[in-house]
Chains A and B, each alone.
Chain A
Amino acid sequence: MNRSLAIFGGSTLIYVGLAILMGVLPGIWLSKVPPTPGLKPLTPLEARGRAVYVSEGCFYCHTQQVRPLSGDKPFGRPSAPGDYVYQTPELLGSERNGPDLSNVGTRQSSNVWQYIHLYEPRAVVPQSIMPAFPWLFQIVNKVPAEEKPVPLPLQFAPGGSVIPSDDGKALVAYLLSLKQPVLAPTQPGAPPSGPLGGTPGFDASKGAALFADNCASCHGAEGKGVPGTFPPLAGDPVVNAANPAAHIGTVLHGLSGKMINGQKYEAQMPSFADQLSDQQIADIIDHERSSWGNRGALITAADVVAVRANEPRQQRAAAPAQASPVPAQAPAFDAAEGSKLFADNCAVCHGAEGKGVPGTFPPLAGDPVVNATDPAEHITTVLRGLSGKTINGQKYEAEMTPFADKLSDQQIADIIDHERTSWGNRGPLVTPSDVAKARAKK
């Protein structure tokens, strides 16, 4: 009897202990995380949309969690605990039959696109396997004055005009509210004006963002690490050492099994030598050396180069090949990059073959602006977006998203050059400096 009591009671205790340690305590800790700066609470309409999202089962196939993996980059930055403050229970999802939606409000901000896509996904993405949700819409013969009909492509349009129901509007409002705020440095302005200011300057916001993308998932946004598993960086001797060689070497090549303050850390830290540039590594290291009470001497990209140079010979042999001579000035462009960027950013509306969606999204194949000798209008359209333009006698109402804040000059140039050389188009190529010039013009 005593023995069975010990077995039963002991196993219950172990189970309860584990539940508290792995569920309750982290839950309490996470519930105190402040909202990510810039995150807005849901409006009543968006909250209703969230209920529709749940009742329609969107989370069976869509996640709302971006992992710090290269494969997750198209969905946004890695998710942070503060992103979920206004949405409990969190709709994390467990399977991606469809793309992650954490940042869909930024990635696909056109409500017209969202309505068409919900009514019939294959009208905009032919290969889609998403079910259609026609019950979120009404088909009417006469469109009420305050409503706008959904501009469906002809082959998908039913008899009458399609207008979204209240649930449909709420769901789209919720989807468009899913925007990841940009992670700002924790204390704006503080790190660069630290006590060691004056030494090599670095861009604090860049360092903080890079740290958030690459390091914070283990070492914590506040540099506290995870006790016993991932070492804290706040107060770490290597981070505060006057000689930065060990610090740089750790970021370049990773580390595991090191004893720090009497605690052995087994988890393998990845190597970043091939993933980040010298400048990026210097920014991260300077962020670490000037945050959370750390006071290590700042470094420059040149220091990182010096530590890289001490690598074994075979690795060094590969280095000069990568450090290619001065980039060529001719307007050559990377066709593969342009094609990929186009697929990621433009193809959902304009179609992978540049055919668009008749009457809703204009085709790019044969478009006069795309083939114009002066690329100014083409560049401006990509930078600032467009709507309500008449092309070849057809008026296009749907709003095109501006890309000025989402893509670099080089990326925009790659996309434009892809469009100007594909599907029979023969427009002259553009360079990133053309894009920069167009940006400068207001």
Chain B
Amino acid sequence: MLVPVLGGTANFLLTFRGRYERIYRSPAVFILIGVYGYLLGSTQGTFEAFRSLQQLWHLTNYTVGHSHLTMYGFVTFAIWGGVYALLPRATGKYPYNLAMGVHFWLSAIGVAIYVAALSAAGTIQGLDWLRGLTFIQSVEDAAPYWLWRSVGGSLMFAGHLVFAFNVWTMTFGRSYATLAAAETVPA
């Protein structure tokens, strides 16, 4: 698994190389986070496949954190990048740059907190079970991290509301096109 993951990541990052100044100011920054989500999530998944680590993490919150790193940090961010790049081309209407930035930061910070909290909680649960503590003890030990999970999840949800607003501006709403139309990419 490491070979296709590293190969795919290298392909993306080398394509981005030298154009960061432009990427940071365009929807491609969502794709960039998606690439990092892919790299981290898939590498993590490779290591999770080891039997010894499965004994620790299987059935714990760690799995949920891993799923959000891949399904949210990778797939969802990549889809957002695609929507922000393609929808204006279809409708001719652009989202507010500021609103796009707010969506980006709410979701990026939210998922980072969410994944970090659940990885910690899952590890603690797994260690508690291996040490033969009672189940309810593992619930108590993980509870503070679930508070942080709620914080991260709330930021992500707020980001989704901003995204809905952006889709509305790109379709039915009034567009304030501040983005220049994307340049034609040289073949």
- Which residues of A line the B interface, CB within 8 A? 63, 67, 69-74, 93-99, 125, 127-129, 340, 343-344, 347
B139 at the interface (CB under 8 A from A): yes
What are 16 A-B pairs at a CB distance below 8 A?
A69-B55, A69-B130, A70-B132, A71-B129, A71-B130, A73-B132, A74-B135, A94-B63, A96-B59, A96-B135, A97-B61, A98-B135, A127-B139, A340-B132, A340-B134, A347-B134
With known contacts A69-B55, A71-B129, A71-B130, A127–B61 Cβ distance under 8 A: no
Task: Knowing A69-B55, A129-B143 are in contact, say whether A95-B61 is a contact too (CB < 8 A).
Answer: yes
- Verify if B136 is at the interface (C-beta below 8 Å from A): yes
Residues of A within 8 A of B130 (CB): 69-71
Nearest residue, chain A, Cβ from B143 = A129
Docked complex: B78-107 residues within 8 A CB-CB of A: none
**B161 in contact (CB, < 8 A):** no
Provide the residues of chain B in CB contact with A93, threshold 8 Å.
59
Q: What's the nearest-Cβ distance from chain B to residue A178, in Å?
A: 16
A96 touching B60 in the complex, CB below 8 Å, given contacts A69-B55, A71-B130: yes
Partner of A95 from B59, B129, B135, B139 at Cβ < 8 Å: B59
For A98, what are the chain B residues with a Cβ–Cβ distance below 8 Å? 135
Give CA–CA (A127, B59) in the complex, Å.
20
**The residue from A70, A96, A343 contacting B134, defined by CB atoms under 8 A apart:** A343
A125 to B140, CA, bound (A): 11
| A379 CA to B130 CA, complexed, in Å | 31
Measured between beta carbons, the chain B residues less than 8 angstroms from A95 are 59-61, 63-64
**Of A63, A67, A71, A129, the contact of B132 (CB 8 Å cutoff):** A71
Within the complex, which residue of B61, B125, B136, B143 is in contact with A125, where a contact is CB–CB below 8 Å? B136
Q: Tally of A-B residue pairs with Cβ under 8 A?
A: 45
Q: Which residues of B contact A (CB under 8 A)?
A: 55, 58-61, 63-64, 125-126, 129-130, 132, 134-136, 139-140, 143, 146
Q: Is the Cβ of B140 less than 8 Å from the Cβ of A127? A: yes
Q: Cα distance A94–B63 when bound, in Å?
A: 9
Residue of A nearest to B140 (CB): A127
B138 shortest CB reach to chain A, Å: 9
Taking the closest CB of chain B, its distance from the CB of A57, in whole angstroms, is 15
Q: Is the CB of A129 within 8 A of B63?
A: no
Identify the closest chain B residue to A93 (Cβ). Answer: B59
Knowing A63-B59, A69-B55, A70-B130 are in contact, say whether A129-B135 is a contact too (CB < 8 A).
no
Residues in chain B near residue A72, CB distance under 8 A? 129
Per DSSP, chain A at the interface is: loop
The minimal Cβ–Cβ distance linking B53 to chain A, given in whole angstroms, is 13
B55 in contact with A94 (CB, 8 Å): no
CA distance in complex: A99, B64 (Å): 17
Residues of A within 8 A of B143 (CB): 127, 129
A69 to B130, CA, bound (A): 8
Other contacts beyond A96-B60, A127-B140, A340-B134: 7, CB < 8 A: A70-B130, A71-B130, A96-B59, A127-B143, A128-B136, A128-B139, A129-B143
For B132, what are the chain A residues with a Cβ–Cβ distance below 8 Å? 70-71, 73, 340
Q: When chains A and B are docked, how far (Å) is the Cα of A63 from the Cα of B60?
A: 11
Chain B residues positioned under 8 Å from A63 (CB to CB) = 59
B134 touches A74 (CB 8 A): yes
Q: Which of A71, A97, A340 has the most CB of B within 10 A?
A: A71
Give the residues in chain B near A344, CB-CB below 8 Å.
134
Q: Are B59 and A94 in contact (CB under 8 A)?
A: yes
List the 4 shortest-distance A-B pairs measured between CB atoms, nearest first. A71-B129, A96-B59, A99-B135, A343-B134
A96 (CB) vs chain B CBs: closest residue = B59
Nearest chain B CB to A11's CB is how many angstroms away?
15
**B58 vs chain A, min Cβ distance (A):** 8
Q: How far is the CA of A326 from the CA of B129 in the complex (A)?
A: 33
Report yes or no: A127 in contact with B63, Cβ–Cβ below 8 A: no
Chain B nearest CB, measured from A60 CB (Å): 11
Complex CA–CA separation, A71 to B61 (angstroms): 16
Contacts A94-B63, A95-B63 given; indicate if A129 touches B55 (C-beta within 8 A). Answer: no
Question: Roughly how many angstroms separate A73 CA and B63 CA in the complex, as a whole number?
Answer: 21
Contacts of B64 in A (CB 8 A): 95
Residues of A within 8 A of B63 (CB): 94-95
Scoring B125, B130, B134, B143 by chain A CB atoms within 10 A of each residue's CB, the highest score goes to B134
Select from chain B the residue with minimum beta-carbon distance to A125. Answer: B136
Q: B136's closest neighbor in chain A, by CB?
A: A127
User: CA separation between A127 and B138, bound complex, in Å?
Assistant: 10
A340 to B131, CA, bound (A): 12
| Nearest-Cβ distance from residue B140 to partner chain A, whole angstroms | 5
The residue of chain B having its C-beta at the shortest distance from the C-beta of A129 within the complex is: B139
B159 shortest CB reach to chain A, Å = 24
- Contacting residues, chain A, for B146 (C-beta < 8 A): 129
Residues of the A chain whose Cβ atoms lie less than 8 Å from the Cβ of B58: 67
The smallest C-beta distance from A225 to any residue of chain B, in angstroms, reads 17
Q: What residues of B have a CB within 8 angstroms of the CB of A96 in the complex?
A: 59-60, 125, 135
Residue of B nearest to A72 (CB): B129
Chain A residue nearest to B63 (CB atoms) is A95
**CA of A127 to CA of B146 in the docked complex: distance in angstroms?**
14
How many Å lie between the Cα of A74 and that of B131 in the bound state?
Answer: 12
Contacts of A129 in B (CB 8 A): 139, 143, 146
Complex-state Cα separation, A344 to B133, whole angstroms: 9
Question: How distant is A322 from chain B, measured CB to nearest CB, in Å?
Answer: 19
Which residue of chain A is the closest to B64 with respect to CB atoms? A95
Roughly how many angstroms separate A314 CA and B132 CA in the complex, as a whole number?
28
Distance between Cα atoms of A382 and B161 in the complex (Å): 57
